[in-house]
Amino acid sequence: MMLKFPIYLDYHATTPVDPEVFRAMAPYFTEVFGNAASRNHEFGWTAEAAVEKARNQIARLIRATDKEVIFTSGATESNNLAILGVAEMYREKGNHLITSPIEHKAVLDTCHFLEKKGYEVTYLPVDSYGQVSPEAVRAAIRPTTILVSVMGANNEIGTVNPLAAIGKVCKEKGVLFHTDAVQAAGKVPLDVEAMGIDLMSLSAHKMYGPKGVGALYVRRRNPRVRLAAQIHGGGHERGMRSGTLNVPSIVGFGKAAELSERLLPDETARLRRLRDKLWDAIRSRLDQVYLNGHPVDRLPNNLNVSFAFVEGESLMMGMKELAVSSGSACTSASLEPSYVLKAIGVGEDLAHTSIRFGLGRFTTEEEIDFAIEKVVSTVRKLRDLSPLYEMVREGIDIKAVQWTGH
């Protein structure tokens, strides 16, 4: 097959809508256009039935019951609703929340907002792989703790957290457990019962569904989680999220969840093999390359590598045939090194040399073969121009060199 450029290797930022998802959505824009809240006629009933089918498809993916799935505009809103909704509803019980410093901004900025409102937030340090320790969670829980929020898998470095062990600690301590599972969903098996999860954020566009639709799982029993609504209106979604439902997108989200569940075993095996092929080639053909994130507990489609002595930005410029990310997609507009890499102890210099490769459903073997050659040749070319790299090759200890100038 002929390669088409640029090759998309940024599946953590977003994914294309799967053609099967698109086909499922199509009729709901035109023929089946009813308002799912219209109780008086066929148009409304048909739309409502489609929404309920999607709710079931999403519930199945995470082993929840249908009524526990609340539709939102995306995971940014789901994270806001989970954290602000719990903070407001359980204010009598306490004002303390626990999270990690490498969460998505939709969690971190929401926590910062709460701090300004008088809440206290503990940002648990992560280890050098980016994992949160269940024992650290246990030690941080106070009588006033109302929520623990720890992501399922990190969007930059792909590290997967021990959700079941963290959930167990939360259950023992009687504290609610929220997880941002946007990157984990469809990549690692999720089970809200077995993992002791009370709230879970999901986003359709990270799993081959449309942008602008997401869900929040809200546990209904053992315990029944109550949330203060953040958007007020017609009382849709059990009163937790008002607003006319985006029926076509919800239908697409449901189909995407069904596909993800069905394809998960084969898809993750295929992506893991391609990802490992890419990493094995990079590390065998280049020296001074470092894997960021956990070597085993990581998303099958994620590879995050620091290429010492090569600026990430120059590397991306040198391989325009590849659509990849340097640092986080959300911070690549600024020249700040990624806060995730910083939190796992990657030095500022090395952080600036990091590239994130995100593989996905439509990534082919030929594309990975091309990517390997492109990455290896571009890194070599840039290093040939680097006096620092030359000195290291010659065995000079650059840390001991007296620099002139600044």
Q: How many residues bind ligand PLP (CB under 6 A)?
A: 13
CB closer to ligand PLP, 12 vs 383: 12
Q: How far apart are the first and last CA of the chain?
A: 52
In angstroms, give the least distance from the CB of 25 to ligand PLP.
17
**Four-residue CA torsion sign, 150, 75, 224, 83:** positive
| Separation between Cα atoms, residue 240 and residue 247, nearest integer Å | 18
In angstroms, give the least distance from the CB of 78 to ligand PLP.
8
**Both structure tokens of 352:** 């600036």
**Both structure tokens of 154:** 């990190």
Task: Determine the interface stretch with ligand PLP among 70-78, 243-251, 254-262, 350-358 (rule: CB under 6 A).
Answer: 70-78
| Separation between Cα atoms, residue 103 and residue 323, nearest integer Å | 24
Task: Determine the interface stretch with ligand PLP among 74-82, 142-150, 162-170, 346-354 (rule: CB under 6 A).
Answer: 74-82
In angstroms, give the least distance from the CB of 155 to ligand PLP.
4
Catalytic residue from among 26, 37, 281, 330: 330
CB closer to ligand PLP, 148 vs 289: 148
Q: Which of 55, 96, 104, 241 binds ligand PLP (CB under 6 A)?
A: 104
In angstroms, give the least distance from the CB of 100 to ligand PLP.
12
Q: Which of 15, 46, 57, 76 binds ligand PLP (CB under 6 A)?
A: 76
Q: Is 75 in the site for ligand PLP (CB under 6 A)?
A: yes
Q: Are 392 and 398 in contact (CB under 8 A)?
A: yes
Pattern of binders to ligand PLP over 176-215, x per CB under 6 A? ----x-xx-------------------x--x-------x-
In angstroms, give the least distance from the CB of 149 to ligand PLP.
11
CB closer to ligand PLP, 141 vs 150: 150
Active site residue 330: yes
Exposure string over 340-351, b if 16+ CB within 10 A, otherwise e: bbebbebeeebb
CA-derived radius of gyration, the chain: 23
Q: Which of 34, 74, 196, 312 binds ligand PLP (CB under 6 A)?
A: 74
CB closer to ligand PLP, 95 vs 149: 149
| Separation between Cα atoms, residue 340 and residue 348, nearest integer Å | 11
Q: Which of 110, 155, 246, 325 binds ligand PLP (CB under 6 A)?
A: 155
CB closer to ligand PLP, 72 vs 378: 72
Closest residue to ligand PLP: CB criterion: 74
CB closer to ligand PLP, 104 vs 187: 104
In angstroms, give the least distance from the CB of 116 to ligand PLP.
21
Place of tokens 């709901």: 28
**Coil, helix or strand at residue 3:** coil
**Coil, helix or strand at residue 284:** helix
In angstroms, give the least distance from the CB of 340 to ligand PLP.
11
| Separation between Cα atoms, residue 148 and residue 170, nearest integer Å | 8
Scan residues 133-152 and list those touching ligand PLP (CB under 6 A).
Answer: 151
Task: Determine the interface stretch with ligand PLP among 44-52, 68-76, 89-97, 359-367 (rule: CB under 6 A).
Answer: 68-76
Report which of 114, 180, 174 is spatially closest to residue 145, judged by C-alpha positions. Answer: 174
Q: E strands of 262-400, at which residues?
A: 289-291, 302-307, 322-323, 354-358
Q: Are 146 and 90 in contact (CB under 8 A)?
A: yes
Exposure string over 62-81, b if 16+ CB within 10 A, otherwise e: bebbeebbbbbbbbbbbbbb
Q: β-strands 214-218, 199-203: how paired?
A: antiparallel
Q: Footprint of ligand PLP on this chain (CB under 6 A)?
A: 74-76, 104, 106, 151, 155, 180, 182-183, 203, 206, 214
Active site residues: 330
